[in-house]
A and B are shown apart, each in its own frame.
Chain A
């Protein structure tokens, strides 16, 4: 199946990726080829087959809810692209 340019733009918007015009054209072509290849999966009869989300035989790992020592604020902020007053600084999200 061929992905249209509009579909590529829609996916890029969902993924919050700014793409160049060349990238849009390239991904439309490459993703179409990959998705075509994936159609092979439709050959497999999976009726009554449950999905595997994890291979582990364990479910629900509990621990006592006890407060621990938090990481120091300065350490957490050391990688921030922008900070102010001991907080991460971002642009306004509300108009």
Chain B
């Protein structure tokens, strides 16, 4: 087994035993990125110098620990990770997949990244994303799409498609993504890996470029459930730099990883099995529910009656918040500036040319929803329906410990298949957006493959701060099934035949 195939916990074990150095593991990943990323385009920026410097420091800490095992050893010492390019790593360009930030180098670091750095992690680079995390396929990146490692003619999902594809293709040991309407879980499902969206406020948003501030959350994308628990452990927790971080202590998530489900009540909502969904997805999820029952869970039906209104609610609230958040891109303090005759022309030109089509569409939509005369009918109405969606979940979680359903109604779709029709693209998020609206946690794990060999995701939703519950169910299921051992049939010879991307941003 090559080092890049190991999970995070397996890599830690090999490093602990001294069988391989952090530099060797890092070099193995860098070589694999060099071989495969020209095809997949999972990364926007690769940082070999930073990664190797961090790996050398990690090896020094391993050596010091070997000389004296009482020396403190950080928990992720020498683990190579990838960071979605909307999360700031100090001194490393952060483009957000946008021309407007093409050359932006953040002078500060996201709290989640700083905590991983303190935990000894190695940063391989920044991963591709839909522009400002707005999208469900990573096709909205200004620098060209990422391709799905299971079929390079298909999308990896989005917006954290670069992170999910990188994990699936073994181009990193694990990654951070962000989830505003499903952007960790949906690409994890479409790429056959694990993606966890923590409870709103569980992970600090400081240093995450804002999209929808009442919805955004950073979460781990990993090769298995234990790895998701390990990363969440170090990025979770209150942060004085983020007033919306939840002031609750962080439990030991690995203690939740037990392989049976005795006493767990698993709720199944009929509203998440809809006409038009791919039959193989429904079949795989129903089979997974049977496995949960065999593992000791009590399976019950729960109802989430306002589910049908979640999509319009989300696509009103998120663009409204985005239109306010993206007002800051004015060409003054950072980012692109296209000079016009007056300062007003400069604003219009900078924003008109710097933002891509989907970002402009959402800014327009959000601006309209917040504008005089429409606020009550659109934005305020959506906020009220959001309350009803939250209450649905509160009532469901009185009866069930977790709720299980599909992550996405279909497996990975073809590149270009949905780009012409925004509403069709928005439907890709139909099962994931409710968790963001309700502020609860969720995880997607592999639960099978369709007849084209494309992965299917099982979504497990838990109440606010219920990460231990979803991890327990996810772990028990994973350990009882073979799906997480499968890897995409990917070699450097794999070559895409479709249209090529818009090219790399200049280094």
Contacts and interface: CB of A to CB of B under 8 A. Distances in A.
Interface of A: 3, 8, 11-12, 14-19, 23, 27, 30-31, 33-35, 37-38, 40-44, 46, 49-56, 58, 61, 63, 71, 75-76, 78-82, 88, 90-93
Interface string B94-111: 000000000111011000
Interface of chain A, helix or strand or loop or mixed? Answer: loop
A17 B352 CA distance: 5
A26 to B, nearest CB: 8
A40 B378 CA distance: 11
Contact of A15 (B201, B323, B381): B323
A16 B347 contact: yes
A79 B333 CA distance: 7
Given A40-B309, A82-B337, A90 B343 contact: yes
Interface residues of B, number: 69
Contacts of B312: 37-38, 40-41
A12 to B, nearest CB: 7
A27 to B, nearest CB: 6
Interface of B: 103-105, 107-108, 200-201, 214, 240, 243-244, 246-247, 306, 308-309, 312-313, 315-316, 323, 330-337, 339, 342-349, 351-353, 355, 357, 360-361, 363-365, 367-368, 371, 377-378, 380-388, 390, 422-423, 437-439, 464
B315 A41 contact: no
B352 A18 contact: yes
A69 B368 CA distance: 40
B360 A19 contact: yes
Contacts of A42: 377, 381
A16 B388 contact: no
Nearest to B346: A91
Contacts of A8: 364
A88 B360 contact: no
Contacts of B383: 51-53
Contacts of B382: 41
Nearest to A39: B312
Nearest to B242: A61
Contacts of A82: 337
B201 A56 contact: yes
B316 A41 contact: yes
Contacts of A81: 331-332, 334-337
Given A18-B349, A58-B247, A79-B334, A27 B385 contact: no
Given A11-B364, A31-B365, A34-B365, A55 B333 contact: no
7 contacts: A17-B351, A33-B423, A38-B315, A52-B386, A81-B334, A91-B339, A91-B346
Given A56-B246, A79-B335, 6 more contacts: A27-B364, A52-B390, A61-B243, A71-B107, A76-B107, A80-B334
Given A34-B422, A55-B439, A78-B107, A15 B351 contact: yes
Contacts of B355: 17
Contacts of A14: 367, 371
A65 B315 CA distance: 38
Contacts of B335: 79, 81
A71 B108 contact: yes
